[in-house]
């Protein structure tokens, strides 16, 4: 047990030392041992995203309220005494092209590099495509609020993409890493998974890692979502191999949270009422398993 803690502490100190280096000492040319481990992990944990795979990208949508009304009620184009020809034309265009939220250009990376700000993986003025494997993951990643509209675009992969799969504990390649490397991967990907921060300094270490991985010939990074436990995000460097093919518009009706008691440890969990039936089924299943094990022991 102490050995496991020692490995965890070693990984923490190494990653913290690297962040200290790129933040306050050397920014562009670095000789640090963490890069040797990242290179090894990127070689072992490679995954090919096959041609015609569909990924998802979400953006909060703030369209004209009347246009939103007609999107939701296409058969009511004469209500409220409004001039409807422009809305009908736009609605027809949406129906024909399959883009119900943002259009193709708006659903993809911005056209101009001058519009690109700092991101968790990309330095300013450098385009990366941020996607998720599932539409729900893409939706929660933009942290919408009640009543907000979210455009979720389908992004088709037109050519195979080789990415570094750093989504820890989710694939066979991960199992090939030793305990220290797993701890280090966890530390690094925790920083990748963090939601956007107003303090852009926190982006510098992960931006450096992204650029380093890109220099190895890898075309993207896959990592865990911090907002949905089952979710996986993929940041794509070679976005030219992808194409938006459609978008759908969603309205946020509810947001569900589950919070486990932390301190004191015996306090009751906080749970959205919609999750209560699911948690009760989990508990009942657990009791049945215990009863089955007891019967097997008696026999």
In the prediction, which pLDDT does 4 show? 81
Neighbours of 200 (CB within 10 A): 13
On the question of pLDDT at 95 being above 70, the answer is no
On the question of pLDDT at 224 being above 50, the answer is yes
Specify whether 153 is located in the same domain as 121: yes
β partners of residue 223: 233
Specify whether 17 is located in the same domain as 141: yes
Q: In the structure encoding, which two tokens stand for residue 3, read together?
A: 């050995």
Distance in angstroms (rounded) separating the CA atoms of residues 132 and 112: 23
Judged by average pLDDT, the poorest of 46-50, 185-189, 290-294 is 290-294
What percentage of residues in the chain have a pLDDT greater than 70?
79
On the question of pLDDT at 271 being above 80, the answer is yes
Specify whether 147 is located in the same domain as 234: yes
Specify whether 44 is located in the same domain as 170: yes
Distance in angstroms (rounded) separating the CA atoms of residues 152 and 180: 38
User: pLDDT per residue over 99-138, tens digit each?
Assistant: 988 889 999 998 888 888 888 899 899 999 999 999 999 9
Specify whether 148 is located in the same domain as 293: no
Specify whether 242 is located in the same domain as 201: yes
Most confident option among 89-93, 251-255, 288-292: 251-255
| Total domains, the chain | 2
Specify whether 116 is located in the same domain as 240: yes
| Mean local confidence (pLDDT), 60-67 | 72
pLDDT band for position 264 (cuts 50, 70, 90) = confident
Distance in angstroms (rounded) separating the CA atoms of residues 216 and 229: 29
> Residue 110: inside a domain, yes or no?
yes
Distance in angstroms (rounded) separating the CA atoms of residues 30 and 51: 35
Q: What is the CA radius of gyration of the chain?
A: 23
Q: Return all residues near 253 (Cβ < 8 A) that are at least 6 apart.
A: 146
> Residue 290: inside a domain, yes or no?
yes
> Residue 130: inside a domain, yes or no?
yes
Bridge-based pairing of strands 149-157 and 220-224 is unpaired
On the question of pLDDT at 193 being above 90, the answer is no
Specify whether 238 is located in the same domain as 108: yes
User: To the nearest whole number, what is the mean pLDDT of the chain?
Assistant: 85
Task: Print the domain residue range for 282.
Answer: 259-298
Distance in angstroms (rounded) separating the CA atoms of residues 281 and 269: 16
> Residue 267: inside a domain, yes or no?
yes
Q: Return all residues near 102 (Cβ < 8 A) that are at least 6 apart.
A: 59, 61, 151, 153, 247
In the prediction, which pLDDT does 89 show? 66
Distance in angstroms (rounded) separating the CA atoms of residues 119 and 192: 10
More reliable by pLDDT, 185 or 159: 159
DSSP 8-state assignment for residue 134: S
pLDDT band for position 83 (cuts 50, 70, 90) = very low
């Amino acid at each position: 047990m102490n050995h496991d803690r020692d490995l965890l502490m070693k990984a923490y100190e190494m990653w913290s030392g690297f962040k200290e280096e790129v933040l306050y000492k050397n920014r562009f040319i670095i000789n640090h041992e963490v890069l040797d481990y990242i290179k090894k992990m990127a070689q072992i944990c490679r995954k090919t995203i096959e041609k015609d795979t569909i990924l998802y990208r979400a953006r909060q949508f703030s369209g004209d309220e009347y246009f939103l009304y007609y999107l939701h009620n296409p058969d009511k184009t004469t209500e409220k005494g409004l001039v409807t020809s422009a809305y009908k034309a736009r609605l027809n265009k949406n129906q024909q092209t399959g883009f119900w939220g943002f259009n193709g250009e708006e659903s993809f990376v911005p056209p101009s590099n001058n519009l690109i700000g700092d991101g968790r993986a990309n330095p300013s003025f450098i385009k990366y495509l941020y996607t998720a494997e599932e539409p729900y993951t893409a939706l929660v990643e933009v942290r919408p609020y009640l009543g907000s509209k979210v455009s979720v675009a389908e992004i088709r992969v037109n050519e195979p993409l080789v990415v570094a799969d750093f989504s820890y504990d989710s694939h066979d390649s991960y199992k090939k890493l030793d305990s220290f490397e797993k701890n280090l991967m966890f530390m690094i990907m925790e920083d990748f998974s963090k939601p956007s921060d107003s303090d852009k300094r926190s982006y510098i270490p992960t931006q450096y890692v992204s650029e380093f991985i890109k220099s190895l010939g890898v075309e993207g990074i896959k990592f865990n979502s911090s907002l949905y436990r089952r979710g996986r995000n993929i940041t794509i460097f070679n976005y030219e191999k992808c194409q938006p093919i459609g978008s759908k518009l969603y309205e946020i009706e509810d947001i569900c949270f589950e919070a486990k008691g932390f301190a004191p440890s015996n306090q009751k969990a906080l749970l959205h009422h919609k999750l209560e039936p699911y948690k009760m089924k989990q508990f009942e299943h657990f009791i049945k398993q215990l009863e089955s094990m007891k019967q097997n022991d008696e026999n």
